[in-house]
């Protein structure tokens, strides 16, 4: 039988060690996310996957925030983040810095996530959108690729924090294999 590990047996690094550790070349862009709980959850995923940064845009709440803290469990302290009044300003900055812009959205001719292939030495920005309206069309138009997570049930979408988690886990896994 397998024994469940205690927290001290997980050998996690400290926040200061995390800050100086090498990160995967991935930024997640939150395009007008309404729920601070979703934002906190995405911070926690960003920490778990050691991504470079989280960009908070538009109406997206920023730390310190009680609801972000509740779901982030301290990840808003370990993961670098930056706020932009306008999502397109973040996209422009990322493009200038050589990032490939991936919008996670259901669009005509989207690329299914399982068919996405990362390339060596590429940097990626994953844009996730508002819980009701998704990624803004202007951002979609500026994206290099629109990816979609396959779904097999009756619902039209996953929760935004779940979507971000699935896509980030997949992208990081593919980067590790390149």
Instruction: Calculate the CA 5 to chain-centre distance.
Output: 27
Q: How far apart are CA 129 and CA 111, in angstroms?
A: 17
- The CATH number given to whatever domain includes residue 168 is 3.40.1280.10
**Which pLDDT band holds residue 27 (cuts at 50, 70, 90)?**
very high
Please indicate, yes or no, if residue 14 is contained in any of the structural domains: no
Of the CA atoms within 13 Å of residue 81, those in its CB half-sphere come to: 25
Domain that holds residue 43: 21-177
pLDDT in tens, 96-136: 999 999 999 999 999 999 999 998 899 999 999 999 999 99
Q: How far apart are CA 164 and CA 55, in angstroms?
A: 13
pLDDT in tens, 62-72: 999 999 999 99
Please indicate, yes or no, if residue 135 is contained in any of the structural domains: yes
**Which pLDDT band holds residue 178 (cuts at 50, 70, 90)?**
confident
Rg for the chain, CA atoms, rounded: 16
- Give the pLDDT mean for 142-168: 97
pLDDT of residue 3: 94
- Give the pLDDT mean for 153-176: 96
Q: Please give the tally of structural domains in the chain.
A: 1
Q: Name the residue among 77, 72, 63 with its Cα closest to residue 161.
A: 72
Please indicate, yes or no, if residue 12 is contained in any of the structural domains: no
Please indicate, yes or no, if residue 71 is contained in any of the structural domains: yes
């Amino acid at each position: 039988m397998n024994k469940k590990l205690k927290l001290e047996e997980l050998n996690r690094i400290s926040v200061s060690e995390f800050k100086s550790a090498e990160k995967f070349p991935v930024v997640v862009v939150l395009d007008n996310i309404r729920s601070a709980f979703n934002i906190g959850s995405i911070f926690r995923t960003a920490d778990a996957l050691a991504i470079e940064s989280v960009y908070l845009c538009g109406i997206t709440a920023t730390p310190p925030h009680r609801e972000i803290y509740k779901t982030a469990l301290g990840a808003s302290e370990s993961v670098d983040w930056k706020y932009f009044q306008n999502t397109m300003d973040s996209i422009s900055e990322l493009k200038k810095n050589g990032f490939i812009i991936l919008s996670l959205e259901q669009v005509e001719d989207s690329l299914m996530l399982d068919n996405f292939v990362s390339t060596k030495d590429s940097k990626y920005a994953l844009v996730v959108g508002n819980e009701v309206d998704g990624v803004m069309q202007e951002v979609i138009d500026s994206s290099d690729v629109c990816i979609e997570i396959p779904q097999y049930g009756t619902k039209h979408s996953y929760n935004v924090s779940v979507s971000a988690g699935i896509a980030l886990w997949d992208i990081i896994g593919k980067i590790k294999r390149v």
